[in-house]
Amino acid sequence: MKRIHTDICPVCGSNELVPYLSCKDYLTTQEVFDIYQCKTCGFALTQDFPAEDEIGPYYDAPEYISHSDTHRGIINTLYHWARKMALKSKSKIVGRYASKRTGMLLDIGSGTGYFLNKMKEEKWIVTGIEKSEFARKYAKQKFDIDCQSSDYLYKVCEKTKDVITMWHVLEHMEHLNRVMGHLSATLKDDGVVIIALPNKSSFDAAHYKEHWAAYDVPRHLWHFSPSDFGRLAKKHHFELVDVKPMYFDAFYISMLSEKSKGTFLATIVGLAKGGIFFLRTLADKKRSSSLIYILKKNNKK
């Protein structure tokens, strides 16, 4: 199997990458993957992850619910309720930070199309990019939205998008710097990029360590803290305009983490701990389980 070994930190360029944690793929294979950390800047990455054309089987689990619509089980039920709430808050964020009321919106990793549909209802002209054929068909059937496959990203014309969104997607993409470069190229000068990522300096990450569900190896390749992401954004001539917490993720990630640990009554324990992390986050937002980064082009060259 082709594995991608990283010697150079994609954020700062240092070659001092050292072992940080060993995590298990709880979802599919139970294989162990190492997470390495950059000694210079602190950024962390999954070492020796499967290459893009071979990682498919690692996504092959019914639990990977971002691409499906099952309603069984308490975790899924909560997930679907939380998704509804999250859709509302995502569209509110677009409304608040976009420089226009409507325009061209690109959602990368659009999944089954719920967010695109919400934005279409709000009169945005939407385009989705989604690598799963199943999800693309779903979006077409349910919402009549045509989504493109992955290579479309590199075909989007320069400076044509008012808003580009990536909801928990960038951490899955092999070519981190290439993708960031393309975001910058395709965005209009007054456009906005909105990126949601798990936060490796969250309260829940500190608590669960190698059991933290949002390490999600080998599907999550890159593990950011707010300062890591700020550095990457700056490198690609973006200005970090704002950082917003995603409050619900603490509950979901804590439940999954407890499940991975094999805790008795994992869902209840996870919910309770998620509640504590949520409350602590109210006082320290940058330690939220997931964060939404709002980027604008730094046009002063």
Tell me how many degrees the CA angle 188-192-198 measures, rounded to the nearest 5.
140
Number of residues located near Zn ion, criterion CB under 5 A = 8
* 106 close to 125: Cβ distance less than 8 angstroms: no
Helix (H, G, I), strand (E, B) or coil at 21: strand
Among 23, 27, 35, 41, binds Zn ion (CB under 5 A): 41
Give the largest Cα separation in the chain, rounded: 56
For residue 108, state whether it binds Zn ion (rule: CB under 5 A): no
Q: Which of 16, 43, 2 is nearest to 200 (CA)?
A: 43
For residue 89, state whether it binds Zn ion (rule: CB under 5 A): no
Residue 185 and residue 181: Cα distance in Å, rounded?
A: 6
Among 21, 23, 27, 38, binds Zn ion (CB under 5 A): 38
Q: CB 42 → Zn ion: shortest distance, Å?
A: 7
- Identify which of residues 41 and 197 has a Cβ nearer to Zn ion in the complex: 41
- Identify which of residues 38 and 253 has a Cβ nearer to Zn ion in the complex: 38
Residue 241 and residue 285: Cα distance in Å, rounded?
A: 15
Q: Which of 173, 206, 192 is nearest to 277 (CA)?
A: 206
Binding residues among 42-61 for Zn ion as defined by CB under 5 A: 43
- Identify which of residues 11 and 192 has a Cβ nearer to Zn ion in the complex: 11
For residue 11, state whether it binds Zn ion (rule: CB under 5 A): yes
Residue 240 and residue 185: Cα distance in Å, rounded?
A: 17
For residue 12, state whether it binds Zn ion (rule: CB under 5 A): yes
Q: CB 7 → Zn ion: shortest distance, Å?
A: 12
For residue 232, state whether it binds Zn ion (rule: CB under 5 A): no
Residue 106 and residue 297: Cα distance in Å, rounded?
A: 16
For residue 141, state whether it binds Zn ion (rule: CB under 5 A): no
* 60 close to 68: Cβ distance less than 8 angstroms: no
For residue 192, state whether it binds Zn ion (rule: CB under 5 A): no
For residue 9, state whether it binds Zn ion (rule: CB under 5 A): yes
Q: CB 9 → Zn ion: shortest distance, Å?
A: 3
CA atoms within 13 A on the CB side of 225: 15
- Stretch touching Zn ion by CB under 5 A, among 9-17, 47-55, 75-83, 205-213: 9-17
For residue 33, state whether it binds Zn ion (rule: CB under 5 A): no
- Stretch touching Zn ion by CB under 5 A, among 25-33, 41-49, 53-61, 146-154: 41-49
Q: Which of 49, 41, 40, 47 is nearest to 19 (CA)?
A: 47
- Identify which of residues 41 and 250 has a Cβ nearer to Zn ion in the complex: 41
Place of tokens 């693309």: 136
- Identify which of residues 14 and 141 has a Cβ nearer to Zn ion in the complex: 14
Q: Which of 243, 113, 39, 248 is nearest to 256 (CA)?
A: 248
Q: CB 8 → Zn ion: shortest distance, Å?
A: 9
**CA separation, residue 77 to residues 71, 81, 151, 294 (Å):** 6, 6, 33, 29
Q: CB 4 → Zn ion: shortest distance, Å?
A: 17
For residue 176, state whether it binds Zn ion (rule: CB under 5 A): no
Return residues touching Zn ion (CB under 5 A).
9, 11-12, 14, 38, 40-41, 43
